[in-house]
Amino acid sequence: MKLKHTIQLAFLITAMISCKQKQDNTVVSEDNQTKTTAIDTTQTYINPLDIDYTYMVYNSARNKSYRSGADPAVIEFKGEYYMFVTRSFGYWHSTDLVNWTFIKPQQWFFEGSNAPTAFNYKDSLVYFAGDPAGYGSILYTDDPKKGLWSPTASISNNIQDSELFIDDDGKTYLYWGSSNVHPIRVKILNKNDRFLETGVREELINLDEEKHGWERFGENNFHPTLKEGYMEGASMTKHNGKYYLQYAAPGTQFNVYADGVYVGDSPLGPFTYMKSNPMSFKPGGFTNGAGHGITVKQTNGQYWHFATMALASNAQWERRICMFPTYFDEDGLMYSNTSYGDYPRFGPSHPTKAGQHNGWMLLSYKGNVTVSSSLQQIMKFTSNDDEVEVKEIPTELNAEGQITSNILTDENPKTFWVAEANDDKQWITIELLNEGIIHAIQLNYHDHESGIYTRVEGLKHQFTIETSEDGKNWKTVVDRSKSEIDAPNAYLVLDEPVKAKYVRYNNIKVPGNNFAMSEVRVFGLGLGEAPNKVSNFKINREKDRRDASFSWDKVEGAQGYNIRWGIAPDKLYQSWQVYDTNTHFMRNLDRDTSYYFTIESYNENGISEQTETIFVE
């Protein structure tokens, strides 16, 4: 049975109630915060998160200019939230886990924190560590909003990719490790004596790529020469008396970057590999990766996993931040809901569906795009510093002589278009394949030779967006012409849904030397029917049981398909979203685990029923 228009109407009504938009206000300085008041998206959000990512000092000596946000450490402190991100020269504050404002601290590490760790100790102090050099004092504050931090008097060594965890009894543990050889380790610190080591150190866990396919190095877990993945980004969550030691693998630049879990009865272990790993995994769709993160408990008891998404276009360290709802099932298995993970999702304030896909589908996929000018159109992927794949895409004209740039609707963040100028004469027009009801738009700007190499305040994206039903009569639906907001991954929820077939972005000015865009994504609901249920779904587990191949019959009118799997019919915690194919190959299964699989089709109108689950030994 298809999703019917009554369901679409329900989504429409819900969205109209929840998506109220505030006017764009200028930046206001309040305590050391750079506070930006933009669209109120407390009811919905999208990945990657819409924050003002920092330009990186790292690689600046090589004249590589790009933004990045990675390795998030998010804590709740006195009912509010703080997010620490690698080399950002500060951190973000939020009251709702969706709208974040940047705080520039009065004391901080010279090159920004690296793979930071933070811990809220009984709502009295926030402890923090993350010196890029791998050593340094642990900082603390009782008022992170002010940005005034004090260092401990002692120096702690070997704290790269660390996790500071203070148990209910006050005992303090520091987990660390970032290597394709060495394990995750832990040492005990004395919180009451300058965090000095007590002499207790343990080696805890290491990768086992022969058993765990998802830990194998490389894009899609394949590399022609390197076989050992990187184990890094330790994180600890205590739930119902159990200790969930999370870790990332196999590499931050890859689509399969994920977080797994070992479970123990003590902070020191021993730890047992969780059968349903990885617990945070997003290999398909527009923006990939969900590794090296942290799990934070919302004030209402809901858990959220913040993690790192790979962009890896200008550099392998070019990344973004994502947020997924996280759960513990009746068997104590920890998992995150990443299905349709870069589509709009209900915000943390939703009473029953927080973090779940809210039903808005992608209307812009494969839309016909014309642009004002074209300096370059490029596909660029940097898997590591020595392997950069660059492909120049020729400029083409349509029948009317207009410049086309369909890479802006191809669902690939590594393809991008560069305008000839960064001014108010540049525009992008998308003709949707089918008319639909538009609810939201996501703009994914690209850094092309931007010429910015550190945190710079006062950056802003200024533009307007118009829609039209016929391509002649236009209505302005977003006006940021005088905006002071820096939004490299802007998420724009319309004041009211609008019926349209055309969307036009009018540039005014964006940060950096060049105006470049990788994707304009339009979300809402089409006016047609959801696609039919998939038929003839076949799965072949290969001789190497970490691998599996899939095939199915094409479904007419489908944009793509979503494969779901897990260790039981009611534990289908993993998913892989694909476009325009009826075959797939994955290398991420655990060798000694049996799985259940199902698949669904989707398009701009909705999602089909899932097929019956198939058991595979």
pLDDT for residue 227 is more than 60: yes
pLDDT for residue 537 is more than 90: yes
Helix (H, G, I), strand (E, B) or coil at 504: strand
pLDDT for residue 255 is more than 60: yes
According to the model, what pLDDT value does residue 24 have? 36
Q: Which two tokens stand for residue 198?
A: 């007590």
Name the DSSP class of 407: G
Whether 305 and 284 have beta carbons less than 8 Å apart is answered as no
Q: How confident is the model at residue 107 (pLDDT cuts 50, 70, 90)?
A: confident
Mind listing the pLDDT tens digit for each residue in 431-459? 999 999 999 999 999 999 999 999 999 99
Mind listing the pLDDT tens digit for each residue in 312-339? 999 999 999 999 999 999 999 999 999 9
Q: How much is the average pLDDT of 75-94?
A: 97
pLDDT for residue 472 is more than 70: yes
Summary mean pLDDT of the chain: 92
- pTM metric for this prediction: 0.93
Q: Which two tokens stand for residue 74?
A: 């998010």
Q: How much is the average pLDDT of 512-540?
A: 98
Strand partners of residue 247: 260
Q: Residue type at 50?
A: D
Whether 309 and 319 have beta carbons less than 8 Å apart is answered as yes
More confident residue, 150 or 26: 150
Rounded-to-integer distance, Cα 307 and Cα 337, Å: 13
Q: How much is the average pLDDT of 401-417?
A: 98
| Cβ-based neighbours of 255, under 8 Å, separated by 6 or more | 219, 220, 283, 284, 288, 289, 310
Task: Using the structure block, give the residue that is written with the tokens 């990332």.
Answer: 248
Q: How much is the average pLDDT of 446-475?
A: 97
According to the model, what pLDDT value does residue 504 have? 99
Residue by residue, DSSP assigns 577-616 as EEES-SEEEE---BTT--EEEEEEEEETTEEPPPPPPEEE
Strand partners of residue 122: none
pLDDT for residue 200 is more than 50: yes
Mind listing the pLDDT tens digit for each residue in 352-372? 999 999 999 999 999 999 999
Q: How much is the average pLDDT of 218-241?
A: 95
Question: Residue 595 to residues 544, 546, 572, 589: CA-CA distances in angstroms?
Answer: 15, 11, 9, 9
Q: How confident is the model at residue 37 (pLDDT cuts 50, 70, 90)?
A: very low
More confident residue, 36 or 151: 151
Express as a percent the part of the chain with pLDDT over 90.
87
Measured in whole angstroms, the distance separating CA 38 from the mean position of its chain's CA atoms is 20
Rounded-to-integer distance, Cα 576 and Cα 563, Å: 5
Compute φ and ψ for 157, nearest 5 degrees.
-105, 160
Q: How confident is the model at residue 18 (pLDDT cuts 50, 70, 90)?
A: very low
Mind listing the pLDDT tens digit for each residue in 540-571? 999 999 999 999 999 999 999 999 999 999 99
According to the model, what pLDDT value does residue 9 have? 45
Q: How much is the average pLDDT of 218-240?
A: 95
According to the model, what pLDDT value does residue 158 have? 73
Kind of pairing between the strands at 415-418 and 475-480: unpaired
Whether 155 and 135 have beta carbons less than 8 Å apart is answered as yes
Residue by residue, DSSP assigns 420-446 as S-SSTT-EEEEEEEEEEEEEEEEEEE-
According to the model, what pLDDT value does residue 383 have? 84
- CA-based diameter of the chain, in Å? 74
Whether 91 and 79 have beta carbons less than 8 Å apart is answered as no
According to the model, what pLDDT value does residue 387 have? 83
According to the model, what pLDDT value does residue 13 have? 39
Q: How confident is the model at residue 3 (pLDDT cuts 50, 70, 90)?
A: very low
According to the model, what pLDDT value does residue 279 have? 98
According to the model, what pLDDT value does residue 156 have? 80
pLDDT for residue 15 is more than 60: no
According to the model, what pLDDT value does residue 317 have? 94
pLDDT for residue 32 is more than 50: no
Q: Which two tokens stand for residue 93?
A: 């504050």
According to the model, what pLDDT value does residue 16 have? 41
Strand partners of residue 259: 248, 280
pLDDT for residue 211 is more than 90: yes
Segment holding 16, helix H or strand E: helix 5-18
pLDDT for residue 250 is more than 50: yes
pLDDT for residue 386 is more than 90: no
